Structure 1
């Protein structure tokens, strides 16, 4: 530990901590920033209070804490401890707590003064997890308000593309050298006809033969690929020589510890890992790295409200981190399963999770903190606006925040549970229902369902969630379920309550509880295996699934895949629609659906009961009133588009001119007249003219030019006529038509002889738009197209004149067109008029 590069920075670090409350430290792999620095801080006089160090991954937090405690000759939980989700090893004596970022945000929310803590260290901040960004934002707000004595250290392997200085402009910045040995890089791209996982197995076997010393670390995108590769390698590697060790986040702690421990019995470790091994985690004895170049990236789709897991290429930054794992102890070797020319095409760095991820939990954090928009927090990157809007909408639907985005009492209680807001709402509502009627153990059943849904080690055996309830008798699902029960009522109830809930679980109770958590995923059957969700999107079940053919479902888990139009259902429950008249009636809304029946050529209206976009039942309305006919017309136009109104060219030109007025920012408040804007605002511009419309022919006969032109106040009408006119006055007296094209081009068509004497092409929109001139022959045939008339006269005109002079000898073809008087007559008539 005393020889690590970070040691050389200790005097500068001590000086910075004495003079500044913010410090940015760049320290590459092997510098010792995650181990030697926090170990030393415990003995520095500049830090007398407790220290929190944040690690982005649970596995790294546990590993780092154990390592530092061992260096001090102590057991974990004494001076050094850790806190991660589901496990805590701290005591009254603990001064250094290694935690995950989610733990920090909850600590700050519970105690906005963070009493007793003097220093917060953010390790591996470049990984940009949601909780990293949020934790740093809350820590900075805490420092600027309640705790100006609080110190913050932000540490990263690289500062490239990381806007830390924007958030911490007064921070002291220090840079340490890393300690790593040279790593040779070899590129072994997958063949065109070869499956990459099979290729990877071959490369690993060959690499172990060619490099007989040290252990091997292989990077794969996920647990599924790890398990398949482990199976392939188990038939090709002698278990007496090689220990194949999977490593991923949902593995039990004992198996994780086994994977990162030194090789024993003379065997070499072959560690098959996700990107959990990219940074802080130290794995003993690694000298070989084989990198698939893939990661599993979660991207939230705001249209469906679900996170899509996609196989993506890693970034250049990530590939450098992975390769560096081979050079921690001695010179190493890294094999990349892509071509060297592909390396430069990789993204420089990974996109931050705040741009891609589901923001529901983060938004609830923000509401609990007191903000109504995440942009009110000092964040490293702005969040996805679409994803944030969906999150606020869901929290409002679940009554966790009100219409003004202020957290409710229900929302505060949900936050305390520490699970996804959907599940928290389900648990709290189940508690309320059970208090009103204790005959059914709804709360314990809700805890079981939450444990099953949240479990990351769940095996797949059909979509029916009732087939997984038994998992909550033991293992991760049971641990989660018991923790929820303890948090919600503080009674520490355990196995007995869960066992009773599992044995007495009724399908109706299961589906109603799931509908509380997933009201937007109530689904009605359509087609053979398809369903429409209340959110408006489609999902499918496997045709051989036990739930296939059920008229109604509640979907707790579905995934979208690249190239698939519908998501695949993985967890669901059969739903009895009778619940819409009873326990789920609060989710039901009534609508009047109006439209046009093509078959009967008439307007119709239906009184519908819906849950979201799904129709529960409907009744026809015999006699439509004027308001319903208007709604029917709006529905018809939105369904078929504005084209069904038969808008003429005059209307099209008006809309194009207004679009150009907006584009070139002519003075005034110009309304949008594009399709999207007009369809969204039919009641404003069209509604007042529909009072007597009863037939399509009447609708299509309306004067749409006047309707739209009247949207412009008088001053804008005059501005439009002046700066974007419909015609251009030629010197000959002709009013030449100007056609405004969708591309934004203004096209003036006129006979060439009438353009004589014009030195330059006309300009519109206060000189911002140059008119393109279509110069025509005397017979109105196209001769030339130019937006630079001066250049045309000086060059291309000579060829036009040579060709046209013989064809049209009676017309003017002057040698100096720019200085010739224009005419719309023949030479003879022009001379006689002269």
Structure 2
């Protein structure tokens, strides 16, 4: 850790604004057990208030101060120890810190600065936190999952009888009223005394200009101002930090300015963090993520350049995983960032967005509990004996997210559901789930460690777990040149031999691996770490054969390595049961391959083959996934997609990290997760029904074969295509429609004539009969449909229709006049000569209806429309005959 001079110590204990409320804070905590405090950045909240609590006689036991980040917990502990003139971690020191992979404290330490997840680990071993007297929730505005759960847990402990447990919630920017309502009864202190003034400047971004270029331009402004002081630049992630550092170096080089350009982000070692914090006579330009946003005072910072962007985790329902997205920061976060410039004196903050955009920003960010994967926090709660459906949430998580997380925990064998109608609310933690909750990682990773350790490969599996937990996937999605399992085995072998250099010997990684191994050893008996079973929808299996990390008697190195590979693959399969992906197209798992391995669909094996064209993978629920063309696994028929990235603008994903798996492993691990299904579908290209026999494992079709259709099902599908007017029947023509019109007309004229009237449901039945025994469109396209339509009526009903509504009437000329039946009555058309000898309009339906006659001239144009033929002959025909006989003298005129 960076040392401090005597001058530093003297300066450190000088008065800060929060000192003015010291007595008020002690008084409140002596008479009550809850305090909410808001105060601007730099007023001394994080360092002084915990010390006030040490001086409060009402607080017995340890004081835990929750910090959002490891670096803040470490530096605040050092700062407080320095102010109290004690050696951090010394035997008699009252101040220390605990983070996930590092800690420093003494036997007499009472004040602990801890990262937020540590509180849940403490509660796992001591549910009532019996040795803790107070918990401080610092920087509560960030609303991380662990912070929300920590506060809810503290309230649960108070309600269970620990009224002596003090709760303090504080931040420079938060909605204090909501916290007050949650903690009621509670005292509130608002300290509105900014330490130093910060000048705010806004820069309107030009379209297409990158944030690192804008930050470099802002740095140039700062350098041109000739003002002294270090510069803190906020960027969302590692890539932007790297680009910004390059751009800043170029600016300093052009101006011949001496400056140290340094990164600051969560993945750095303690030594690299110390370089940032160490006092320097040379100007420092520190490019940081939001790790520098709160709690941390970097000595000498006078200028802040804020990109206004942050990387946040959001649950993606398509991939079923959290994804990191870059989003604009809230007003609260922007104020926290600009406040870094005013910690030690007046400062200047340049915001790389407009004032108008500032006014439109939301006051606070969406709490993480409302946007992240809930599997890990829900497992932690269940391990503490708390049903998440009845927990005291600040903001209740979405119902769908809760159910999705619990279903995943069920697949991992961590929980089971009771018989309650609301199954998720009746969740029960299993033995294996309790063991999984012991690990400070996602339940997937915990499941993997348990099984790997039980298989005798604890070193390799813990290395794999650390990589999956801490390392982001390769930036170029899926472009790994070596397999994940190869890397794990290679690095572990190098580490074990003492020859490993680079990633295999990374000190942060080694600490993380050792912590995983220590937890493994703390769980009773490595051989009982995992029962090898998969619960819930996944079925149950033996968990595979034993594999060891070392050689057994007479076993060669190749055989030993093969055993390790098998154990690693099994462990990953148990951890990612919902991430199975099968290659579709050339090189994929064909039906014949699958049948040979499993004995399914042997009778159709010769017909089986790849269905889709193109090289893509299919995952559960039909999700399509792609591997990068340069991935070493691009020809693997079956893989586990350990990490996926949503492809912009689509519902498909890019697989960014994967391992190969084979069907034998799946059958061994998940014997009850297999399901055979046959499905028929319409092929619009060939216009026929196809049958696909599929075998599903873990909801993914790993076998797929064409087979002979079941005619009854195929005919029904064909009928739906024809009935939906998508496929016209040539044989369903005018003759059919004419019959339907006749039947409907007779039914309207004779109400007692109860007969099918060819409603849509009746027509659907007829089309089903036409398609019966067929599965191709070509088989029914030209089929004569009239007999099928008529047969919807009995023989007697057909005869009655023929009598009441004849298809045609023979006229005196010998010609047949076809009758058209409409809602307005029957109609017929004929030339005037055909009606000679007919005195009256013809009546049909036992005289109930006269046919409306359309009388045509020789040119077939109507000269009269009438149902009174007798009146026509008397009143109209004489004049028509004169006119028409002159025009058509060759025709007969009577």
TM > 0.5 fold call: yes
Asked if 1:85 is matched to 2:100, the reply is: yes
Shift of the alpha carbon at 1:535? 5.2
Asked if 1:18 is matched to 2:37, the reply is: no
Asked if 1:589 is matched to 2:675, the reply is: yes
Encode CA deviations 1:378-413: one digit per residue, 9 max, x unaligned.
Answer: 111111222222111100111100023211001001
Contact persistence 1:121–1:153 (CA under 8 A)? yes
Query: SS of the residue aligned with 1:344?
Result: helix
Shift of the alpha carbon at 1:517? 1.1
Contact persistence 1:472–1:481 (CA under 8 A)? no
Contact persistence 1:454–1:477 (CA under 8 A)? no
Equivalent positions of 1:684-833 (< 5 A) are none
Residues 499 and 582 (structure 1 numbering): CA distance in 2 closer, same or farther, change over 3 Å?
closer
For residue 399 of structure 1, what is the aligned residue in structure 2?
413
Asked if 1:261 is matched to 2:278, the reply is: yes
Equivalent position to 1:614, from 695, 700, 711: 700
For residue 224 of structure 1, what is the aligned residue in structure 2?
239
Q: Between Structure 1 and Structure 2, whose CA radius of gyration is higher? A: 2
Residues 273 and 600 (structure 1 numbering): CA distance in 2 closer, same or farther, change over 3 Å?
closer
Asked if 1:387 is matched to 2:401, the reply is: yes
Asked if 1:555 is matched to 2:638, the reply is: no
For residue 173 of structure 1, what is the aligned residue in structure 2?
188
Equivalent positions of 1:478-497 (< 5 A) are 478-490=510-522
Equivalent positions of 1:39-54 (< 5 A) are 39-54=51-66
Asked if 1:504 is matched to 2:526, the reply is: no
Query: SS of the residue aligned with 2:97?
Result: strand
Shift of the alpha carbon at 1:578? 3.5
For residue 851 of structure 2, what is the aligned residue in structure 1?
none
Query: SS of the residue aligned with 1:218?
Result: strand
Shift of the alpha carbon at 1:250? 0.7
Query: SS of the residue aligned with 2:415?
Result: coil
Query: SS of the residue aligned with 1:34?
Result: helix
Asked if 1:289 is matched to 2:304, the reply is: yes
For residue 16 of structure 2, what is the aligned residue in structure 1?
4
Query: SS of the residue aligned with 2:622?
Result: coil
CA distance in 1, matches of 2:268, 2:696: 43
Shift of the alpha carbon at 1:69? 0.9
Contact persistence 1:326–1:332 (CA under 8 A)? yes
Shift of the alpha carbon at 1:231? 2.3
**Which runs of no fewer than 5 residues in structure 2 stay unpaired?**
1-12, 419-426, 492-502, 527-547, 552-556, 585-612, 729-760, 775-784, 786-894
Equivalent position to 2:78, from 55, 66, 71: 66
Residues 429 and 594 (structure 1 numbering): CA distance in 2 closer, same or farther, change over 3 Å?
farther
Residues 126 and 411 (structure 1 numbering): CA distance in 2 closer, same or farther, change over 3 Å?
same
For residue 160 of structure 1, what is the aligned residue in structure 2?
175
Asked if 1:246 is matched to 2:263, the reply is: yes
Shift of the alpha carbon at 1:52? 1.0
Residues 308 and 460 (structure 1 numbering): CA distance in 2 closer, same or farther, change over 3 Å?
closer
Residues 640 and 275 (structure 1 numbering): CA distance in 2 closer, same or farther, change over 3 Å?
farther
Query: SS of the residue aligned with 2:360?
Result: coil
Shift of the alpha carbon at 1:427? 1.7
Asked if 1:57 is matched to 2:72, the reply is: no
CA distance in 1, matches of 2:486, 2:227: 47
Q: 465-474 or 183-192: which moved more?
A: 465-474
Equivalent position to 1:523, from 573, 581, 585: 581
Equivalent positions of 1:617-656 (< 5 A) are 617-618=703-704, 624=710
Equivalent position to 2:320, from 305, 314, 328: 305
Asked if 1:571 is matched to 2:628, the reply is: no
Asked if 1:27 is matched to 2:27, the reply is: no
Shift of the alpha carbon at 1:609? 1.5
Encode CA deviations 1:9-31: one digit per residue, 9 max, x unaligned.
Answer: 12221221121111111122122
Contact persistence 2:314–2:371 (CA under 8 A)? yes
For residue 419 of structure 1, what is the aligned residue in structure 2?
441
Contact persistence 2:123–2:384 (CA under 8 A)? no
Equivalent position to 2:157, from 135, 142, 164: 142
CA distance in 2, matches of 1:81, 1:488: 26
Q: 545-554 or 354-363: which moved more?
A: 545-554
For residue 485 of structure 2, what is the aligned residue in structure 1?
466
For residue 10 of structure 2, what is the aligned residue in structure 1?
none
Q: 61-70 or 180-189: which moved more?
A: 180-189
Shift of the alpha carbon at 1:568? 2.6
Contact persistence 1:508–1:575 (CA under 8 A)? no
Contact persistence 2:97–2:114 (CA under 8 A)? yes
Asked if 1:476 is matched to 2:498, the reply is: no
Contact persistence 1:301–1:308 (CA under 8 A)? yes
Contact persistence 1:534–1:611 (CA under 8 A)? no
CA distance in 1, matches of 2:367, 2:722: 40
CA distance in 2, matches of 1:642, 1:518: 43
Residues 213 and 361 (structure 1 numbering): CA distance in 2 closer, same or farther, change over 3 Å?
same
Contact persistence 1:302–1:390 (CA under 8 A)? no
Residues 156 and 642 (structure 1 numbering): CA distance in 2 closer, same or farther, change over 3 Å?
farther
CA distance in 2, matches of 1:148, 1:498: 50
CA distance in 2, matches of 1:359, 1:472: 31
CA distance in 2, matches of 1:609, 1:225: 46
CA distance in 1, matches of 2:581, 2:273: 39
Contact persistence 1:521–1:534 (CA under 8 A)? yes
Residues 499 and 283 (structure 1 numbering): CA distance in 2 closer, same or farther, change over 3 Å?
farther
Encode CA deviations 1:774-824: one digit per residue, 9 max, x unaligned.
Answer: xxxxxxxxxxxxxxxxxxxxxxxxxxxxxxxxxxxxxxxxxxxxxxxxxxx
Residues 44 and 241 (structure 1 numbering): CA distance in 2 closer, same or farther, change over 3 Å?
same
For residue 270 of structure 1, what is the aligned residue in structure 2?
285
Query: SS of the residue aligned with 1:271?
Result: strand
Query: SS of the residue aligned with 1:221?
Result: coil
For residue 683 of structure 1, what is the aligned residue in structure 2?
none
For residue 769 of structure 1, what is the aligned residue in structure 2?
none
Contact persistence 1:26–1:155 (CA under 8 A)? yes
For residue 534 of structure 1, what is the aligned residue in structure 2?
620
CA distance in 2, matches of 1:641, 1:2: 87
Query: SS of the residue aligned with 1:186?
Result: strand
CA distance in 2, matches of 1:620, 1:59: 59
Contact persistence 1:190–1:338 (CA under 8 A)? yes
CA distance in 2, matches of 1:622, 1:403: 40
Equivalent positions of 1:356-371 (< 5 A) are 356-371=371-386
Residues 89 and 587 (structure 1 numbering): CA distance in 2 closer, same or farther, change over 3 Å?
farther
CA distance in 2, matches of 1:593, 1:168: 57
Shift of the alpha carbon at 1:486? 2.2
For residue 456 of structure 1, what is the aligned residue in structure 2?
471
CA distance in 2, matches of 1:224, 1:326: 24
Query: SS of the residue aligned with 1:516?
Result: helix
For residue 223 of structure 2, what is the aligned residue in structure 1?
208
Shift of the alpha carbon at 1:318? 1.1
Contact persistence 1:594–1:629 (CA under 8 A)? yes
Encode CA deviations 1:271-304: one digit per residue, 9 max, x unaligned.
Answer: 1011111111111111111111111122111232
Residues 17 and 552 (structure 1 numbering): CA distance in 2 closer, same or farther, change over 3 Å?
same
Encode CA deviations 1:571-603: one digit per residue, 9 max, x unaligned.
Answer: 111222343333454543333434445567776
Residues 579 and 282 (structure 1 numbering): CA distance in 2 closer, same or farther, change over 3 Å?
same
Contact persistence 1:113–1:146 (CA under 8 A)? no
CA distance in 2, matches of 1:348, 1:300: 22
Contact persistence 2:318–2:651 (CA under 8 A)? no
Query: SS of the residue aligned with 1:35?
Result: helix
Q: 475-484 or 272-281: which moved more?
A: 475-484
Query: SS of the residue aligned with 2:251?
Result: coil
Encode CA deviations 1:115-149: one digit per residue, 9 max, x unaligned.
Answer: 12111111111110000000000110011004122
